[in-house]
Amino acid sequence: MAKLNRRSISRRTVEALKVEKDTVFWDRDVPGFGVRVYASGTKMYVVQSRTEGKSVRVTVGRHGVITADEARRRAARILNRIKAGEEPVAEPLPARLAGGPTVADLAARYMEEHVAVHCKASTAEGVQGLLDKYIVPEFGRLPLLAVERDRVVAFHARLSGVPYAANRAVAVLSRMYGMATSWGMVPDGTNPCRGVRKFPTRPRERFLTDTEFRRLGTVLDRAEADGGVSVHAVAAIRLLLLTGCRKSEILSLRWQDVDLAAGELRLADSKTGPRAVPLSPPAVRVLAELPRVADGPWVIPGQKPGTHLTNLDGPWWIVRKRAGLEEVRIHDCRHSFASRALALGESLPVIAKLLGHSQIQTTARYAHLARDSVKASAARVATSIAGDFLHVGGAAAERQSER
């Protein structure tokens, strides 16, 4: 029998196995114990031995429903029964592993009864993305009570290359189990995400410099003139820079929310609830000059009639590449607005109001920029005083030398 690269079958080795055609890998330590890997990605633990001159293979269980260690113990008991001349049948799975609602079932209910009711569309889209990309492929087939903490820890560890996504995926799974408890799908205390340590992450802050602002403005003018980017996409980017609004707030903006005479946007449903956004004269000019689609309600219309633009990634990729700002994200327009406000001496409470933060703690992430502004001011004052002081000192020294 082929060995498994001189290693015992374990969770890590099994999860790393990928094949183009169905293949059985056999364990080094327990003869007859193996794992059959299908081209589809399914992995089944098996036992193979001989009884009464015939080869017998018994399926132990699916990888993921039972662990490699549990499969090894079950395989050993099956082999002992074969040697004793007993019927070589697999043991029934415990009730908690054999049935009941699966993680996929919970995910569907969570989206329908919780996320769709209590979360905004942008949040729902993010949660659905985590379910589709990470959670359901990993846990979807498992009964809820079959998911153990060790597997969640291993899942989180495999996503170490994308720590932010890893933390969010575990957080969503944890909230799902919290709802499952309240819905009576699982008993209290069965959340497998409890105690999983998050990866440390740092806020990704990038602020445009004065030179970069000018370069970006030039590129936007040229892109609009040569048709490389639609006038509405250019306007959206300009409004992000001039208002500090969130991307979703600008893309979902309706003309009925715009009061150019009052110089104000009235957002009925922002991330933190209804709020008014003051418009500067440059922002008013952007909106006043923007072509309107006949009978269209949206300020930034989409390609299909009656829709608004939902994705700025393509236009932003073109603009930032031309401006030499490849590492700058569209959300950094909002950071740059806050940075410039601090540089001009605005307080954190005022900036919180401008950005639509419901809690000052959210704005406090920019506090280090405020300290930098204070230091710069202190340096300018001290330099001015020192210039006079050194001048006086120098004159005194000259008089002393004359004596």
pLDDT 10s digits, 328-361: 888 888 888 888 887 787 777 887 888 877 776 6
Highest mean pLDDT among 53-57, 83-87, 164-168, 242-246: 164-168
67 occurs within a structural domain: yes
What is the separation of C-alpha 243 from the centre of its chain, rounded to a whole number of angstroms?
A: 24
Domain end (from 93, 119, 154): 93
Q: How many domains does the chain have?
A: 3
Same domain, 87 and 122: no
Distance CA 158, CA 162 (A): 9
Kindly list the distances between the CA atom of residue 286 and the CA atoms of 64, 97, 134, 252, in Å, as whole numbers in the listed order: 55, 60, 41, 16
Same domain, 80 and 147: no
The per-residue pLDDT of the chain, averaged, comes to 83
Name the residue with higher pLDDT: 7 or 54.
Answer: 54
| DSSP structure string for 300-332 | SB-SSTT-B----HHHHHHHHHHTT-TT--TTH
Domain end (from 72, 93, 114): 93
Give the pTM.
Answer: 0.54
> 97: pLDDT confidence band, cut at 50, 70 and 90?
low
> 101: pLDDT confidence band, cut at 50, 70 and 90?
confident
Q: Which residues contact 79 (CB under 8 A, 6 or more apart)?
A: 30, 32, 33, 47, 49
328 occurs within a structural domain: yes
Task: Report the CATH number at residue 331.
Answer: 1.10.443.10
380: exposed, middle or buried (Cβ count in 10 Å: 0-12, 13-18, 19+): exposed
Q: For 294-312, how does the pLDDT look when each residue is reduced to its tens digit (9 = 90+)?
A: 888 999 999 888 899 988 9
Q: For 114-132, how does the pLDDT look when each residue is reduced to its tens digit (9 = 90+)?
A: 999 988 777 888 999 999 9
Task: Report the CATH number at residue 148.
Answer: 1.10.150
Distance CA 361, CA 358 (A): 9
Name the residue with higher pLDDT: 382 or 279.
Answer: 279
* Main-chain phi, psi angles of 290, to 5 degrees: -75, 130
Distance CA 286, CA 294 (A): 18
Same domain, 251 and 292: yes
Q: In which residue are the tokens 């602002």 written? A: 213
- Distance separating the N- and C-terminal Cα atoms of the chain: 105
Q: What is the pLDDT of residue 397?
A: 46
Highest mean pLDDT among 13-17, 51-55, 210-214, 364-368: 210-214
Same domain, 258 and 327: yes
Q: What is the pLDDT of residue 93?
A: 58
